[in-house]
Every structure is written in structure tokens, then in C-alpha cells.
Amino acid sequence: MKSRALRRLLLAEREAAASAVAELTGQLQQARTGLVAKTLELEKLKVQLAKLRRMAFGRSSEKLEPWAGRTTCSPAPTPARSAPRPSTR
């Protein structure tokens, strides 16, 4: 009798585990699909941004590309002041 109960319990746990795996697999697939969609949207926006920069600034805007990923601005460093030059009068 105990072996039947144990067998039923093991089968129930096995079915529950298989169900959990199936659910998690579905969630993973949804997450991957969402990631692909967001990646495509990001690439589309990058292309649009490059196009708008060319429209606004011409080809010279392509020189700004290293700065494109920067989201914050920091003040420009102030140049060091040199000592006043002695007059040569």
C-alpha cells in the first residue's frame, strides 16, 4: 500500500515539475521575443537619429558619432591659466 501512495506522489510531483518547466519555457520565449523587438526598435531609432543629424548638420554630424551614446553632459574643462608674460619694453 505504501509503495502505491509513494508512486502516486512521485508521479504527481513529476507532473508538477513538467508543468512548471513548460510554463517557464513559455515565459522565457516571451522574454526573448520582447528582447528582439526592443533591439529592433533601438536599431530603428539609431538609424532615424543618424538621418536627422545628417539633415540638420550635414555629413559633418557623422563626426559626432563617438558622442552619440552619451546621455549626460558635463561642463567643459576650464583651461589652466598661465602666468602673465613679462612685458619686453
Assign 58 a pLDDT band (cuts: 50, 70, 90): confident
Residue 87 grid coordinates? 612685458
pLDDT 10s digits, 61-76: 556 555 555 555 555 5
Q: Is residue 87 part of a domain?
A: no
More confident residue, 88 or 23: 23
Q: Is residue 86 part of a domain?
A: no
The total of structural domains in the chain comes to 1
Structural domain harbouring 36: 2-65
Q: Is residue 33 part of a domain?
A: yes
pLDDT 10s digits, 34-57: 999 999 999 999 999 999 999 998
Cell 502505491 found at: 4
Euclidean distance between CA atoms 42 and 56, whole angstroms:
21
